[in-house]
Structure 1
Amino acid sequence: MSRSSLILGLSLLLLAGCDRAAEAPAQPAPESAGAGDVVRQFAGTPLPAMTFADADGNSLDLAAQDGPVLINLWATWCAPCVVEMPQLDALAAELEGEVRVITISQDVRGAEVVTPFFDDRGFARLEPWLDPDASLSAQFTPEGLLPLTILFDAQGKEALRVAGGYEWDSPEAIALIRNRLAAE
């Protein structure tokens, strides 16, 4: 067998493996949205019945939340996530009593990296919830795009989401959240 026949044969074998359709993700990314765009494609999706813990062993039951919540999936290694954290802390202060801001780390190393991150920055309102298995990320962003922030209304239904960085402490973001919740 000649060398060119072997290369051609291997190339055909590799291409043949590409004709199988990939399994569709549970919630595919919106095709027209870019990073930081507000998306309402998944409006009405229920808040998942999942439980997360912090470094001290306290637990957070998402399904038991009373009132609107803004959930932010983030990681210490994600540059846009790190930029958003102080903004989310300021947003939590601004919207205190209106919306609970919940940040859930997708760091595989969990408290080992999240606790020092929080200690160094001294957030006043954010709590260091952990999801080292990235189960929430797998449910909402199979592509693994972080940060991902989702607003759920008082009935536990998704109102909007933003994949990618966003300026959460801006007047526009505050108005967006208030207006979206008022419309529900």
Structure 2
Amino acid sequence: MRLLAALAALVCLLTACTGDSKPQGITLDNRPVAASKVDVDTPALREAKAAAGIADCTPGRGGGELPSLTLPCLGGGTAVDLASLKGPMLLSFWGSWCGPCAEEMPALQAFADDYADQVPLLAVDYQDQYPASALEQMQERGVTYPSLADPGGDVQQFDEFAKIPGMPMLVFVDADGAIAHREFGGLDSEAQIVDLVEEHLGVAL
């Protein structure tokens, strides 16, 4: 009997048993939310975010064509449902574990400084188990544009993000909230970003 009880406990542990009949990662109104156990909003992380001067995440107007998945804001703040976002805007998928992501950050920050009023930039710290390291890297690189957090890679459940061949990934979101273009591997300059925005989003900068 003790062996059976131990096996049952092990199965429950491996399958994340809870007393709640609601599936993990689903809100009461059936909207998916990020289900990772990594806490990206603690007093220490909020303090680090404030010290770095990183902006809060801002939900969109709603009615976009991206999948409905609510992601928390890295370091605390306002959570954002991706489906609320409409462009023209950029989504920058990155992680503190990704060298090319760090190299791309200065170009993204320069773009945000010059053009955020026309084409907002929102980052997504993707499959990153160390939010403190992510915020530290943002501060070291002088990054102040906001970042959501998806430590569990929950966006992968949707076709739009099912296959991410390399990081960083810059996603160009059009006025309908649909993905107009994806750019992989990192960009070296603000000028490259401007050219891609004009080409794929039709915005004259």
TM-score by length of 1: 0.65
What is the Cα deviation at residue 69 of structure 1?
A: 1.8
Runs of 4+ deviating beyond 6 Å: none
Q: What is aligned with 1:152?
A: 173
Partner of 1:163: 184
Rg (Cα) greater in structure: 1
Structure 1 portions without partners, runs of 5+: 1-44
Cα 1:169/1:56, change in 2 over 3 Å: same
**SS of equivalent residue, structure 1 residue 97:** coil
User: Residue 115 in 1 paired to residue 135 in 2?
Assistant: yes
Q: Given the alignment of the two structures, is residue 134 of structure 1 paired with residue 146 of structure 2, yes or no?
A: no
Partner secondary structure for residue 122 of structure 2:
strand
Identity of counterpart residues, as a percentage? 27
Amino acid at match of 2:91: I
The 1:68–1:110 alpha-carbon spacing in structure 2 relative to 1, beyond 3 Å, is farther
Quote the residue 2:80 is aligned against.
Answer: 60
Counterpart contact for 1:110–1:131, Cα < 8 Å:
no
The answer for unaligned runs of 5 or more in structure 2 is 1-63
Q: CA separation of 1:147/1:137 partners in 2, compared to 1, >3 Å: closer, same or farther?
A: farther
Specify the code of the residue in structure 2 equivalent to 1:62. L
Aligned residue among 19, 42, 50 for 2:69: 50
Partner of 1:90: 110
Match of 1:8 in 2: none
**Matched residues in 2 for 1:79 and 1:141: separation?**
22
Partner of 1:182: 202
Size of the alignment, in residue pairs?
137
Contact 1:76 1:107 in 2 (8 A): no
How far apart are the structure 1 equivalents of 2:143 and 2:85? 21
> Taking CA–CA contacts closer than 8 Å with sequence separation of 6 or more, which of the two structures ends up with the larger relative contact order?
1
User: RMSD across aligned C-alpha pairs, in angstroms?
Assistant: 2.3
